[in-house]
């Protein structure tokens, strides 16, 4: 199954700044998924990143706030822009293992905005 | 739209006891996948067990088993002989059968195993 390396594992950022989170997969995958997990909450999908095309954003999430890059089949980045304390969350990337075997997740990035 | 509901925000049992976590879902799809994920304090999402909707047999993985009731749209997780390391958040999740699609998660159940 795919192994995902996600970094940074945590960061504390000043409001108004931006943070870029990286996910590297050890095998080629078509789609990568970015989730947000607010404190004490479940996971909510931010967007789906397809290599070679624009990411598809879920309702309530916009590209200007969460720009995503997907330069190749093994790598993706999510940027949290112009951060506010409300952006303090865990951010996770994920890939589909295929054939319904489930999804592999990165280890998550714990973001605190002060 | 698909939804997943976990009605137990928190549960607590003694070590070695059996515990059942509830999950219901709503979908108009006939073929789909259901999962239980575990998230310990390390926040790593770990796949516990998966179920294919077109299979009537309930999935089992060592101490973990499910009770899948397709008509009732119910997918509960039973943990037998619970261990301290089972302490975690547990999320029920759904995805349609076709293609690489997003997971829809339930709200989660915080399970504590007491010594």
Instruction: Give A81 or B30, the one with higher predicted confidence.
Output: A81
Residue whose structure tokens are 């119910």: B74
pLDDT band of A20, cuts 50, 70, 90: very high
Query: Chain A to chain B, count of Cβ pairs less than 8 Å apart?
Result: 53
In sign, the C-alpha dihedral spanning A40, A113, A70, B2 is: positive
Instruction: Give A102 or B93, the one with higher predicted confidence.
Output: B93
Three-state DSSP state, A86: helix
* Region of A67 on the Ramachandran plot (φ > 0 left; ψ -120 to 50 alpha; else beta): beta
- Alpha carbon of B91: minimum distance to chain A alpha carbons (Å): 8
Q: Any idea what DSSP says for residue A58?
A: P
pLDDT greater than 80 at residue A58: yes
CB atoms B33 and A110 under 8 Å: no
pLDDT band of A67, cuts 50, 70, 90: very high
Give per-residue pLDDT as tens, B98-115.
665 788 999 999 999 999
CB atoms A90 and B43 under 8 Å: yes
pLDDT greater than 90 at residue B45: yes
Give per-residue pLDDT as tens, A71-114.
999 999 999 999 999 999 999 999 987 766 778 999 999 999 99
Q: Do A94 and A35 meet the contact criterion of CB atoms below 8 Å apart?
A: yes
- For chain A, give the percent of residues with pLDDT over 90: 82
Position B100 scores a pLDDT of 59
Enumerate the residues of chain A whose CB falls inside 8 A of the CB of residue B100.
30-31, 96, 98
- Alpha carbon of A83: minimum distance to chain B alpha carbons (Å): 22
Position B1 scores a pLDDT of 74
Give per-residue pLDDT as tens, B56-84.
899 999 999 999 999 999 999 999 999 99
Minimum mean pLDDT range among A9-23, A46-60, B76-90: A46-60
Position B12 scores a pLDDT of 97
> Which residue in B26, B46, B30, B28 sits closest to B38, CA to CA?
B46
């Amino acid at each position: 199954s795919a192994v995902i390396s996600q970094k940074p594992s945590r960061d504390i950022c000043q409001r108004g700044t931006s943070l870029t989170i990286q996910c590297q997969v050890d095998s080629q995958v078509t789609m990568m998924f970015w989730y947000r997990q607010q404190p004490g909450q479940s996971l909510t999908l931010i967007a789906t990143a397809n290599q070679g095309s624009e990411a598809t954003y879920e309702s309530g999430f916009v590209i200007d706030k969460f720009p995503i890059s997907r330069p190749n089949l093994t790598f993706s980045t999510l940027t949290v822009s112009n951060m506010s304390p409300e952006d303090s969350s865990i951010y996770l990337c994920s890939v589909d293992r295929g054939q319904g075997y489930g999804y592999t997740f990165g280890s998550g990035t714990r973001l605190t905005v002060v | 739209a698909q939804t997943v509901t976990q009605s137990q925000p928190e549960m607590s049992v003694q070590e070695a006891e059996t515990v059942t976590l509830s999950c219901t879902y709503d979908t108009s799809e006939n073929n789909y996948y259901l999962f239980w994920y575990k998230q310990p304090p390390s926040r790593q999402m770990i796949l516990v067990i998966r179920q294919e909707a077109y299979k009537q047999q309930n999935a089992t993985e060592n101490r973990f088993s499910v009770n899948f009731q397709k008509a009732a749209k119910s997918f509960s997780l039973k943990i037998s002989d619970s261990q301290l390391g089972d302490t975690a958040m547990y999320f029920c999740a759904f995805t349609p059968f076709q293609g690489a699609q997003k997971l829809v998660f339930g709200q989660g159940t915080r399970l504590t195993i007491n010594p």
